[in-house]
Every structure is written in C-alpha cells, then in structure tokens.
Structure 1
Amino acid sequence: MSWLKSLLLGLAIVGAPPAVAAEQWPVPPTAQDASKRKDHRKAAAEILAELKKCQAAEPARCTLLMMWAGSELFQYDYKASEAMARRAVASAGPPTPTGYPDRAHALAALALTLGVQGRFVEAEQPTREALIVLEASLPESHLRVADAYNQLAFAVGRLSRFSEAEALLRRQLLLHETYRPAGHPLIAMSYDNLAKNLRDQARYVEAEPLYRKAIELRESLSASNPSALATSYAGLGQTLIALERGQEAEPLLRRVIEIRTEIYGGNDYVVAWSYDELAILLEARGDYTEAEAYRRKSLAIEEATWPAGHLTVAAGIVVLASNLDAQGRYKEAEPLHRKAMAMYSATIVDDDPTMAPLYGNLAFNMHGQGRYEEAELFYRRSVRAQKPFPGSHPTRILGYWSLAQFLQDRSRATAEVRSLYRAAQAGIFERLASHSSFDRAAQIELRRYQPVFTGQVRAAWTLSNRPALP
C-alpha cells in the first residue's frame, strides 16, 4: 500500500497547478477560491463551464483549464479526471523552460489518475513518455528532468521492479547533487526517496544511512519544511523497527505525530498515517491493545476524508483486521478482511502483487478459525501473486514459509513442503549474502528465519522415515 501513501503525500505537497504563461485562457478567480476552500465540486463546475467558452472561442488556449478541471475532478471522480487528462495530453504542446502547461505536465496528470485507480501497468507508459519528452526539450540540469526520473522510478516501483527504480533514483540524486547547491532541499528529498526504495527492497542496513543523511539536511531546513523532515523521521523509524531497534524508533515516530498534527491538525489523513506508523512499532513489541486504538483513530479519519471504496480506506481496514487477528479475534476480523479485499478487487487484478498480502492475511485468519480448506486456497493465491517480487524479498520468503508451515502442520504434501522451504531458504541465503559481514543486522535476519531451517529439517526427516514406494 506504500505506493498510495507516497502518491497522496506528493499531492499534499504539490497542491494546485503552478503559475501559467499569459497566453492560456485564465481560470476564473471564483473557481480558484473554491479550490482553496476544498469545495472541489463547485470549482470543477465553474472551470468546466469556462472550458466550454474557451473551446468555442479559442481552443488552442484551453489546456490550462483542462489541467485545472482534471485536478479538481481528481478529488472525487477518477474516471472524469482521467478523461480530462487525456484531453489535455492531446491539446498540450512540447515543454519549454518556463511554460505551463505542456505535454509532459498532461502526461504526468494522466499517469497520476491511472495510478490511483490501481492501473499501474497503464500508468508506466505516460510516465515514461513524459521523461522522453522532457529530455528531448530541456537541459538535464532542469528541475523537471530530475523530477521525471523520480516519477518513473515511482511508476516502476509500483510494479515491483525495484532494481530499475533504484537506478532511476540514483540518477535523480546525481542530477541534483551536480546541479543544485550543497544542502539543497531536493538533494535531501533524493536521499529520502532512495532510502525508501531500499527499504521497499528490505535492504534496511543500506537504507538507514541514507535516511540519516536526509534528516541531517532537512533538520537544517526544518523551519521551511517540517513536513519533509517528518517524512524522513517516519522512514527511519520504520527502518529501525525492521532492524529490531524499536527503542530508537519510538521517539522518532511520536515526534512525527507531533509535527504533522501541528501542521495539518488532528483530523488530516497524513496524521492518520502517522498513527499507523506508530502502531507498527507497538504491534512489533506486542502492545496490540494500544496499537488497536491508533488503528481505529487512523481509520476513522480516513473514512471521513476519502469517498467510499477509496484504497486508502481499504488499507486502513486491512491493518486493523490484522491487528485483531494478532489478538486472536478472528471472527471479528474476517468481515474486515473480506471488505478490504472487495475494495481492492474493484480496481486491481487478482494476481497483482498488491493483492498478495491481502490473500495471506485472509489465509491466516481462516487458519486461525480452523477453516483449513479456505486457508490453503488463499495461501496458494498469495504465493502466486508474489511472483513478480525477487526471491530474496521478505514478502516472497514469507509466502513460501507460510504455505509450507501450514501444510506441514496439517501433515500434508511433505515433498512440496520441503520444496517450499528450500525456495524460502534460497531467498534467505541471498539476503544474507548482501551483508558485508555477519554483523548484528545479519544475525537479526538469520534469527527471524530460523523456523524456515528447522521446518526444512522436519520435512526431510519425515520424508526419510516414510515407507518406501514398492
């Protein structure tokens, strides 16, 4: 679900379209005022009415109105926003150093509307085209070129192509370090983006120093952008949780809540995500009751913020259900799992990697209720959906491990159990090989996966003692 969080945080930072060249048909001031008040339906209605006048009089000057209308429609009607973005792509001209809007802007808007609908494969093409257009029109020192690398990295990262995304983010960092002054906020942003990519690959040891570099830069700029500093604190906090250093993570995550509450107020969706980030830590140390309270606070804010069926709400339902499972409250959690799965299935194909954790969560829930046939079905669906992940990714290791353990506990399919454990083991060995030495982080990795090795020994022992075939 991290793709959606990143996307929406980006929207909170970017806001309305930037200033525009004078030759474009102007957006009515009343519509701009309505947008500032977050009355997006009124703003969209006024802009669409103005767009009709523009198209009747001077259609070559209407791209700005299309972009603004798409931005307002995006807040409540993704399909209409997508249609408007496609019109803007057809209308817009090539990029110039100062003009707005142009074809690259329109392509980025189209990619955004496709991505928020879960249509990640479709979103890659306009994102890639935007980069090509910008590289052909602007010097590599231009800010928009570096940003286009970031957008494409985000697009391919959602498709689990983490290595490709990493290369694009390293290119973005190089451009900013080459063309921006030392300590520039965009350099800090680039370190944070790269750190998040490494964290998504579960390369926590490598991610930690990059987060700390981003924090060092952002702390010197915190008065100008405390929200960005909070983002880096949160990323480092999650990394430290993965490295089993929860005591270091807690003050960071509580500080994130303070900063975001001060900026956005107590009922903003960004604050809701901060509650979820702290809940992860609380759950990791077994404080499920306190974590549940934060999960419920977060979900209440998300349900009040987003329309019914929004994937941010679905993500909030998923984590609350998993919290209840951890407390053994399986029957209470099951309808939440199924509701969230239905919301995701409305926009995301069944075997997309995004669905893998949902299948695994429901499998665990069914297992806890003793409904073993249903549990096995969802464990297998989860493993199938995880195939785009590299074998060393923790999500894929967990999928093999969970299915193997389930079958083993049911005295089922011993040969398959051994094969599943061996596939998990191969991923674990690849992860251990990435450590430069057998340090504390490597020990944590090995200790975390100890049941995989003991399970494989059990499976081998069972096979060796099974009566031989005639």
Structure 2
Amino acid sequence: MSIEDFRNTKTHRSGGPPPRPQSEAGEFDSVVLGIPYQIEAKIGRGGMGTVYRARQEVPNRLVALKLISGGRLDQEFQLRFKSEYEVLALMNHPNVAAVYDVGLTNSGESYFTMEYVPDSCNILEYCQGGNLSISERMNLFLQVCRGVMHAHQHAVIHRDLKPANILVHGGDPLVKIIDFGIAKQLESNELMHYQTRQGDLVGTPAYMSPEQLAGGKVLVDTRSDIYALGLILYQLATDLPPFDRKSMANMTYDACLRHFREVGPEPARERNATVSADLDAVIGKALAKDVEKRYATVEAFAADVQNILENRPVSARPRGFFYLAGKFLRRNRFRFVFSAACGAMLLAAFGLQWLHRQHQFARESAESLNDLMEAVQWTPNPNFISQGKELAALRQLEKDLNWPGREDRLKAKTHNTLGEVYFQLDQADFAIVHFKKALESDVGALDEHKTPVRIDYHLNLSRAYRAKGEVERAIAQARAAKKLIDNPAVTVQEAVVNVHLAAALSQSEEGAFEAENLLIRAIDVLRAVEGETHDDFLLGVGCLADLYQRQRKYSRAEVYYRIVLEKRPLVEGLSSPPLLSAQNNLAFCLRRQGRFDEAEALLRQSLAIRKDAFPERHPSVVRGMDSLGRLLLVTGEFEEAAALYRQIVAHLRAKGDCSGGLKMVNHLARALWAMQDYEGALAVLKDMLARCEGAANPDQRSLRTANILGQYQLECGMPRQALVTAFPFIAADDVQAPKKRLHVSRYIEARAFYEIGASDIALDLFYRLAAELTGDPMAEDELALRVHAYISLAQFAEGDRSGLPILQAYLAKIDAAENPKLVREIVQLLDNPPEPKF
C-alpha cells in the first residue's frame, strides 16, 4: 500500500471524507468531481494540494488545476483558499501566473485554475541546467522582481517566495511567479477572518524572514518578500542553499527555526569567489535581520541589481569618489584611458596635494575632471560632506584653475562642472560664482545643434538663483538663455529653456500665467520628441505640478506629480532628489484635499527610501522626517511628531545649524504644547534662541521662534517674560523680516502691557499696530481681528464702554483654539461686565 493510499484509508476510517473517485486510468475523473475541466495529468504537489494539467473546453485552453487535499477541508481553510483566488485575480502581469476560475467539487472540495506554464522548471533548475552566468541569472531575477513589484503595487505580499514557486519557460526565458496561496492583503483588515491566524507559521521556513518566523504581533510587510528575494538571489549566485543543511541535520524543528531567525547565511562571496563585492553587498542588504536596514522597496533592490549589470554604483556600498570613479573606468575601459596626470589630479582634487603645477597639467586635469563627472553622473558622498573633505578639495581645485588666459572653452566648461558639483552639495553661493565664471570664460562654443553652449551656463545660473529665492535674477538669466536660441529648428532646446524660465516665473505671482503657457507647450514638445521617461520632460511636468500647487489647484497638481512618481524611477531610481521632492509635494496636495491617510502612507514610504539610500543624518533624511512630522501635527499624532522633531533638533544642534534648528524647534514646541507639556515647549524654544543668540543672522526664523515663545508665555500667564522675549526684536533696526512677523511681535508687546495692567500703554500700542495693519479686521486677517478686540477690551479698562457692542461680532470670528485666553476674556466680559479697573 502506498503512503497516499494509507493516508486516504486512515482518513476514511477516522470519519473523514472518503477517497476521491478515480477513473480507470488512475487519475481523478472530472465527471465524477463535477468540474468543467478534463484532467490530463498530475504535474505537481504543493503545500495546499495537488496540481494537475487540465483542459478547459470554453475557451479551449490548457490550465493548471489545483485541487485541495480532502483531509484539510475545514471552513477556515476554504475561506483562505478563496482568498488566494481573490488576491491572484487582481494580478495582471507577464511575470505573474494568471488565475482563471475558482469553484467546488461535488464533494465540497475547493479548486482553482491558473495559467498553465508548459515546458517549465523552477528558476534554480533552469539556471543550473543551462549553466547560466551570474549576469544571465541576475537578468532572470529582475523579471522576478518586476512580478513582485506588481503584487506590492496591489497591496499584496507573497510570503512564500522560493525557487519552487518561480517557473521559467521558453527559449527567450519568461519568468512566472506562482502560488500566492498564503498571500496577505495588506489593506483587508476587515477580512482577517480568512487570513492566517495570529501566531500561525505559514510558508517555507528556510525562505522566511525573521519577522515571519517570530510570529505573534510582529509586523510582516513587503520587506519580508525582499528578504525572501535576497535568499533566492543568494542561491542563484552561489548554486548553494543559503543555509548549510548538513550542519542542521541533527537540529530539532524548533532549533532549525531559531537558526533561520537568528543566524544569517554566510556571505555569498565566501561560498563563491566569483561573486562580486557589489553583489555580495546587495544580497547582504536584502538579508539584513533588522527590517529597517533592508531595502525599503523591491524597486530599490532591483535598481541595485540593474546597477551591477551596468557597472554602476550600488546603494548598498559607501559611494566614495574612488568607488564611483572605478565604476566609470570599468564601464568605459575601451574608450577612456586615465593618464598619470589625470590620476594625480583626481587624488589632489579630493583631499591630497597636487603633484604638479604646470599649465598643461592643469588643462589635462580639468578635461579629465569634466569627462569623469559627466560620465559618473556624480553624487556627493554624504559622509564626506559632513567632514567637509569634498568642499576643501574643491577649493584646492579652484586655485589650480587659474591658468593664463581669461576666455577659454575648457576653463568655462570646468567652472560650469564645479558649479554643478557645488550645487549638488547645497552650496548655491559657490555654484553661482562658478556659473558666472563659466559665462565670463566662454568663447562662444557651439554644441551639436549649433547653438551656444553658454545657454546651459545661463540656465544653471538661473537654477542656482531659484534655489536662493532670488526670483528676478533667475528670470533674467533664463530670458538671456532664450535670446541665444536663433535656430528655430531646435525645438527641444527651446522647450528646455522655456521650462527653466517657467520655473522661475512661477515663483512670482505676476509670472504664473506666462509660466503655465510656457510649460504646457514645452511638455507637449518634449513628450513628442524625447518621450515621457526623458529627464527634460519630467522636469517640465514637475515644474507644472509645482505651479499648480502654489496656485492651490491641488487636484491638477496631483495628476502631474503622479506622472513624475511613475516615470522618474525609470530615469534615475527611487532616491533621486526630484522624485523624493515630488513625493513630498504630492503628499502636501493630498493633505490639502483632506486625504490624510494617503498622504501619510506616501510620506512614510518616502522616508523609508531616504533612510535606505542615505546615512542617518543626511539632509534628505531630515527633510523626510520633517515632512512626516508636519503631517502628524495636522492629524493630531503629537507624540510621534515630537519624537521625530527631537531627533532633528538634536542633530541640528550638534551640527551647529542655527537657522535650521530654529525652524524645527518651532514644530517640536507645537507638538509639546498640544500634548500639554507647556514647560517642555517653553524650554526647547528658550534653549534654541539662547544657542542662536549672537549668530551672524538672527533673521526671520529667530523672530518667528521668539513670537511663538512670546505667545506661549502669554498663554501661560507670563506677560513680563513675554515682553522681555519680544522687545529685542522690536527694538532692533537691522532685522530683515516680513512685516507680518514684526506685527506679531508688536502685538505680543501690546498684549503683555495690557495683561500687566498698563492699559494706557497697551491701548496706544494697539492703536499704532491697527494703523499699520490693512484690510477689514472682520474679514480674513486674524491678527487684525485680535488687535481690534484687545482695543475694545483696553478701552473698557479705561472706562470707555463704546467698544462692547462689537465684541460680540469679534467673538464669532476669532479662532478659539488659537486664542483661548482672548475668547474667555470676551465671554466673561459680555456675560458679566465688570467695573472699570481705573
């Protein structure tokens, strides 16, 4: 008797369902089973049942029919099986096996049919049988990633990725992912009754992530699939299972699970010396036990695999300059030979001393620098930035650019290159210096379109001025570039210039209409000529989205931001600054439309990508934390917001960034105040103001922070302290700040005098401030509303009750949440008018 016969007999004797009826040929009879398929052969067996090749009559096609084992047919399992079908039915991707049908046999057993993959074998067998190279295996693996990406975009994780569930067929190999039988729908909390019970261990332990193996309440998300993909890539790269089966042969089942959970596989390079350091690092990152240290998304993982194939830098390794340069040389080894002089220049340019000072050497060095920077698509090493090494090296290079002659094509190009490097280092002032020198040194060189190269220098200068907020200068430089286009056939370059001009115009109210028209025309040209994945097209789309956002046309802006999010990763990857910026801006638009959950999910994804791509204290990570923190303040999640801003403020304090620290401490204080930690809010504001006292530019942010502190002090019943806080900024003649912020300081001063009983002084200050404020106080100006309300209160304190009738009108307009003390005082006065104070 076979084991299967024994199991069927045992089940029947124990009262379970009888053995399935079989045909004379030994296969299950589809007529007896009551299913509209003709079963032809058994092709496999999985964890949930047996798989058969079957033929469907209408339409006429071969399918893979999966029939659940009779001994496991409890209600929960049937529901889970139905869930498998519903999840797979969402999929429509060439690398995911399609699902056709689901149903029950006459005996009540579940089955479903899926796409039949002929002449296929699992991915590991395919690679080993064909003796594929590591590069060929990585190309197959990228197909796997694309299928998993599709699943994740439908909020589905596979949770049982392994070589056996990845089939390959065809001479031009096509990957098909099968068996989403234990997939979990991330967004189906209401359907948890047919999801895996809490604590159940579902999947193949050797390919499960540590958090899956832990069970219980540990979060299992898309990064669990990334861990499994890392194990698959490990096996493809080494031809060995990730875990040594011999060393585990004598372990108990629980010990094996603990080993999988706590002990990672040996580095791939130690088991196969042909594995490159880049591939080893990429696999290691995917297999990080700490889920936060893995790739944030499958897209990021796949991007690094593609980078290895193209000899480009990977995010899993430190992106030092020499690592980037080495990648460049390997990509271009047949067309680019580094001279000894150029090598000396590169060493000197990034931290070492120059070996020569000859004029010719400087020219050769500059030429090599331009070629290298352009080909590497260089991005600064964040670790070097924090130490200032790259900036110091660039200063040294600048000194050696002073070869004889002012107008020089190579000198102009090199100044432009240095300007671009400084711009990437967020050093707009230095970038402007070099872009100007590029224009001064230009000798009228033409590009391949016979248009002046100086057009690019003007556009770069415009971009740098935009970054500094100098809008008029940015517009002027973009218009200067446009005047240089005298070849009407060069429509693409004109479109690019129009994008830059529009980007500058859109930052001014009067230029918005012209900017929109320029961008719409430019986008049409760039889409037709360059396509939707070209950087120029995406630059124009992003600018138009930004314009609509400034105009508060949030639904329009959303459409264009989503184009950037869809197409930009195909150009630069997930961690490109334009993509990260578009994510934040789209989240802002969603927030303004009241779609807070969508905005929060997007910002959390963006922050995960930033943390994945950059060091912990990189400016991009800080920006991501700030964006998420601002949303959390709006949605009332104050504790998490406070935790984020504590980290940011601590980092900026250590960095000595006074301006950034003032900006962020305001948000931290707001969160603490909302949590009713009034002392904490006052303390962090005072501390940051004290740290920034005597800074070169106390500027607007110091004034804003002082205003917040002063208003909190007033609300805490500390008018004298508020007066001390506000007075230095009111008295200073050199504070360059918007009038509105100075008005707030003067309001704090007047209100402080009012609350300490000096109503005559307060009334005089309020009158003067009211004269400076314009507009109807009963309309939109909240500050004017408060000033006039306090004028009425102060008049009453002086014995003049003429202002009382309008206090009732003010009360209906004043924001009680922002001005609780004023509202209480007006209500008390109206309910029980007291005698005059004097």
TM-score by length of 1: 0.68
Work out whether residues 546 and 557 of structure 2, in 8 Å CA contact, stay in contact via their aligned partners in 1: yes
Query: 1:62 maps to which residue?
Result: 365
- Structure showing the higher strand proportion among its residues: 2
**CA 1:131–1:191 in 2, change beyond 3 Å: closer, same or farther?**
same
**CA 1:320–1:193 in 2, change beyond 3 Å: closer, same or farther?**
same
Question: Deviations 1:304-330 (Å, cap 9, x if unpaired)?
Answer: 222332212211111011011111122
> Shift of residue 359 of structure 1?
5.0
Query: 2:792 maps to which residue?
Result: 461
> Shift of residue 302 of structure 1?
1.4
**CA 1:73–1:277 in 2, change beyond 3 Å: closer, same or farther?**
closer
Mapped to 2, the partners of 1:35 and 1:66 lie a distance apart of 20
Mapped to 2, the partners of 1:381 and 1:367 lie a distance apart of 22
> Shift of residue 303 of structure 1?
1.6
**CA 1:419–1:266 in 2, change beyond 3 Å: closer, same or farther?**
farther
Mapped to 2, the partners of 1:117 and 1:347 lie a distance apart of 16
Q: Which shows bigger deviation, 244-253 or 313-322?
A: 244-253
Mapped to 2, the partners of 1:75 and 1:96 lie a distance apart of 32
> Higher RCO, 1 or 2 (CA under 8 Å, sep at least 6)?
1
> Shift of residue 349 of structure 1?
5.0
Mapped to 1, the partners of 2:608 and 2:675 lie a distance apart of 27
Percent identical pairs in the alignment equals 16
Mapped to 2, the partners of 1:114 and 1:346 lie a distance apart of 23
- The within-5 A match list for 1:237-248 is 237-248=545-556
Q: Secondary structure at the match of 1:103?
A: helix
- The within-5 A match list for 1:194-213 is 194-201=501-508, 205-206=512-513, 207-213=515-521
- The within-5 A match list for 1:169-208 is 169-176=478-485, 179-181=486-488, 184-201=491-508, 205-206=512-513, 207-208=515-516
Work out whether residues 700 and 736 of structure 2, in 8 Å CA contact, stay in contact via their aligned partners in 1: no
Match status 1:165 vs 2:446: no
> Shift of residue 408 of structure 1?
9.9
Question: Deviations 1:61-115 (Å, cap 9, x if unpaired)?
Answer: 3223445677758345343433443344344456878x5xx22333334444444
Q: Secondary structure at the match of 1:458?
A: helix
Work out whether residues 645 and 665 of structure 2, in 8 Å CA contact, stay in contact via their aligned partners in 1: no
Mapped to 1, the partners of 2:684 and 2:566 lie a distance apart of 41
Question: Deviations 1:3-52 (Å, cap 9, x if unpaired)?
Answer: xxxxxxxxxxxxxxxxxxxxxxxxxxxxxx99734565434478798745
**CA 1:276–1:225 in 2, change beyond 3 Å: closer, same or farther?**
same
**CA 1:421–1:324 in 2, change beyond 3 Å: closer, same or farther?**
farther
Work out whether residues 461 and 474 of structure 2, in 8 Å CA contact, stay in contact via their aligned partners in 1: yes
- The within-5 A match list for 1:146-161 is 146-161=455-470
Q: Secondary structure at the match of 1:244?
A: coil
Mapped to 2, the partners of 1:168 and 1:348 lie a distance apart of 34
Question: Deviations 1:238-261 (Å, cap 9, x if unpaired)?
Answer: 332333333333322222222224
**CA 1:250–1:62 in 2, change beyond 3 Å: closer, same or farther?**
closer
Mapped to 1, the partners of 2:517 and 2:500 lie a distance apart of 13
Mapped to 1, the partners of 2:655 and 2:488 lie a distance apart of 42
**CA 1:104–1:183 in 2, change beyond 3 Å: closer, same or farther?**
closer
Match status 1:232 vs 2:540: yes
Q: Secondary structure at the match of 1:200?
A: coil
Give the letter for the 2:501 counterpart.
L
**CA 1:385–1:82 in 2, change beyond 3 Å: closer, same or farther?**
farther
Work out whether residues 744 and 783 of structure 2, in 8 Å CA contact, stay in contact via their aligned partners in 1: no
Work out whether residues 104 and 133 of structure 1, in 8 Å CA contact, stay in contact via their aligned partners in 2: yes
**CA 1:266–1:106 in 2, change beyond 3 Å: closer, same or farther?**
closer
**CA 1:363–1:104 in 2, change beyond 3 Å: closer, same or farther?**
farther
TM-score by length of 2: 0.41
User: Gaps spanning 5+ residues in structure 2: where?
Assistant: 1-308, 330-337, 346-354, 690-698, 706-733, 757-761, 800-836
**CA 1:267–1:49 in 2, change beyond 3 Å: closer, same or farther?**
same
Mapped to 2, the partners of 1:205 and 1:127 lie a distance apart of 26
Q: Secondary structure at the match of 1:293?
A: helix
Mapped to 2, the partners of 1:407 and 1:120 lie a distance apart of 37
- The within-5 A match list for 1:215-226 is 215-223=523-531, 226=534
Work out whether residues 747 and 787 of structure 2, in 8 Å CA contact, stay in contact via their aligned partners in 1: no
Query: 1:26 maps to which residue?
Result: none
2:701 aligns with one of 360, 379, 382: 382
Give the letter for the 2:585 counterpart.
E
2:380 aligns with one of 66, 69, 74: 74
Work out whether residues 107 and 129 of structure 1, in 8 Å CA contact, stay in contact via their aligned partners in 2: yes
Match status 1:143 vs 2:455: no
**CA 1:408–1:368 in 2, change beyond 3 Å: closer, same or farther?**
farther
Work out whether residues 590 and 599 of structure 2, in 8 Å CA contact, stay in contact via their aligned partners in 1: yes
Larger radius of gyration: 2
> Shift of residue 460 of structure 1?
4.1
**CA 1:161–1:287 in 2, change beyond 3 Å: closer, same or farther?**
same
Mapped to 2, the partners of 1:422 and 1:120 lie a distance apart of 40
Give the letter for the 2:473 counterpart.
E
Equivalenced residue count is: 406
**CA 1:51–1:243 in 2, change beyond 3 Å: closer, same or farther?**
closer
Give the letter for the 1:181 counterpart.
P
Mapped to 2, the partners of 1:307 and 1:366 lie a distance apart of 28
- Structure showing the higher helix proportion among its residues: 1
- The within-5 A match list for 1:265-280 is 270-280=578-588
Give the letter for the 1:332 counterpart.
E
